[in-house]
Amino acid sequence: MKKILYLFVFFSFITSGVLAQELLVHDLKIQGNKNLKSSFIKSISNVEPGTVLDTLLIEQDIQRIKRLPSVSHAYYQVFPSEKNQYNVFYNIEENFTLIPSANIYTTDDDEFAYRLGLYEFNLFGRNITFGGFYQKDIYSSYAINFRAPYLFSNKIGLAINHQDLTTQEPVFFDDETADYKYRNKSFEILGLYEYDFKNRMEIGLNYFIEDYRFKGDNVNNRPELNVHKWLLKGIYEYNKLDYYYQYISGFRSQLNFQYVTSTNYQLPDFFIGWNDFFIFKRVGKKGNWANRVRLGLASNNETPFAPFSVDNNINIRGVGNTIDRGTGVVVLNTEYRQTLIEKGWFVLQGNAFIDSGSWRNPGGDFGDFSKNDNIKIYPGLGLRFIHKKIYNAIFRIDFGYGITKNSSKGFVFGIGQYF
């Protein structure tokens, strides 16, 4: 009898607009959660007691819940309560959220670097992220991050970040490539605002110190910098992605804009802007086609310290550690992911990818994007070892092999999908 009533309810508010207006929510109940607080789920949900029973709002709530780091899967049920009222149940399958992170990479130039971290993604049961990492890339570095997207309400949150990163960076001059010790120490605060289910934005300030020191004997008097800067940051995201365990489908766009000014008035102010477009499509029952396109431009100053880099861990797998820089970027990453084994909590996924891109030289023009020296194409293969009940527990191994001019090859290891 309950099954008949259940089917009748769904048929009614899907097919009859008049009847749907008469159906009300008696109560919203949360089930299956242990660490994620029911009060938090209710605070970010559109559905609440006394509102009209609307499947579109329920579906939006479920998709929002599935995006939370602490949730591996969620679904809903509707049951009659009394008269024209119904109880709505949100069923939660939780992730384990105290997660170590690791990124390791090598190339055929015998480069080796790693980053190890620990993050809690569901602090106090309210979807708050807190943690940090230690990085060894010739030099030691660290960062501490706090992010609470629903700290003040179901729309307004806060993020605070501090990092002290030191690396060896190649800087490209006309006659040679010089190695610099680069340090970036920053403090950042961001306000987070979720306009609606699909649209959100971030805006804030970043105060940082950049230090470039020439390595070795500076016989050519190469420039060195130690400068204090302010960065105004804005991010706008449109997100229409749907998640089903390791599978993703839909479209997402993220626009980043930064304006940088310096306390050294001899250095020009400049801007950096880029947009990432993500397109995911389910292929059959076990396939997933994933795509990322990045388009970016910055102030076209003729400087060896250009903002967009060609890098192993950012855009081109196998290319090496910051092998070039530019003031404009066009990058396409496309890969096909196929589930090979799925047993309970464990998934083994294989992938075939092509990473490609081109850069505008500092002070150059848009014709640089078509120059052979600037075009990088790296096909490759990889494996993913996935734990379905631990957030972002995806250990990845990729091998990229360059097929364009002056190419390299190398492995890239990490936690989480590459994009």
Question: What is residue 20's predicted lDDT score, i.e. its pLDDT?
Answer: 44
What's the CA gap between 338 and 139, in Å, rounded?
37
CA quadruple 119, 125, 127, 130: dihedral, nearest 10: -30
Per-residue confidence (pLDDT) for residue 296, from 0 to 100? 97
- Report pLDDT for 304: 73
Nearest residue to 154 via CA among 92, 119, 200, 123: 200
pLDDT above 70: percentage of residues in the chain: 92
Domain spanning 98-415 has what CATH number? 2.40.160.50
**Residues 134-162: what's their mean pLDDT?**
94
Q: Is residue 128 scored above 70 in pLDDT?
A: yes
- In this predicted structure, the answer to whether residue 282 has a pLDDT above a threshold of 60 is yes
Whether CATH 2.60.260.40 fits 2-94 = no
pLDDT digits (tens, 9 = 90+) for 202-253: 999 999 999 988 887 776 777 788 899 999 999 999 999 999 989 999 999 9
Which whole number is the average pLDDT over 63-78?
A: 93
Tell me what pLDDT residue 105 has.
Answer: 63
Q: Give the pLDDT confidence score for residue 18 in this predicted structure.
A: 41
Average pLDDT rounded to a whole number, residues 334-347? 96
Least confident of 54-58, 112-116, 356-360: 112-116
Report how far residue 208's alpha carbon sits from residue 228's, in angstroms, rounded to the nearest whole number: 6
Confidence check: pLDDT of 334 > 50: yes
> How big is the chain, counted in residues?
419
- Looking at residue 108, its pLDDT comes to 46
- Cβ atoms of 414 and 396 within 8 Å: the answer is yes
* Residue 152's pLDDT band (cuts 50, 70, 90): very high
Residue 115 has pLDDT above 60, yes or no: yes
- 114, 136 Cβ separation under 8 angstroms: yes
- Residue bearing the bigger pLDDT, 258 or 6: 258
Is the model's pLDDT at 6 over the cut of 60?
Answer: no
Output the six-digit token pair for 276.
């990432």
Asked if residue 149 has pLDDT above 80, the reply is yes
Better pLDDT: 252 or 264? 252
Q: Start-end ranges of CATH 3.10.20.310 in the chain?
A: 2-94
Q: Which two tokens stand for residue 260?
A: 């940088």
Global pTM? Answer: 0.80
Which pLDDT value is given to residue 247?
A: 94
The residues near 365 (Cβ < 8 Å, ≥ 6 apart) are none
Please give the share of the chain, as a percent, with pLDDT higher than 90.
68
Residue 8 has pLDDT above 80, yes or no: no
3-state helix, strand and coil shares in percent for the chain, rounded to the nearest 5: 10, 60, 30
What is the rounded distance in angstroms from the CA atom of residue 2 to the CA atom of residue 387?
36
The H or E element containing residue 56 is helix 55-67
Is the pLDDT assigned to residue 12 strictly greater than 70? no
Q: What is the pLDDT of residue 276?
A: 98
Question: What's the count of helices (H) and strands (E) in the chain, helices before strands?
Answer: 4, 21
Contact assessment for residue 327 and residue 298, using Cβ atoms and an 8 Å cutoff: yes
Residues of the chain with CATH 2.40.160.50: 98-415
pLDDT number for residue 1:
41
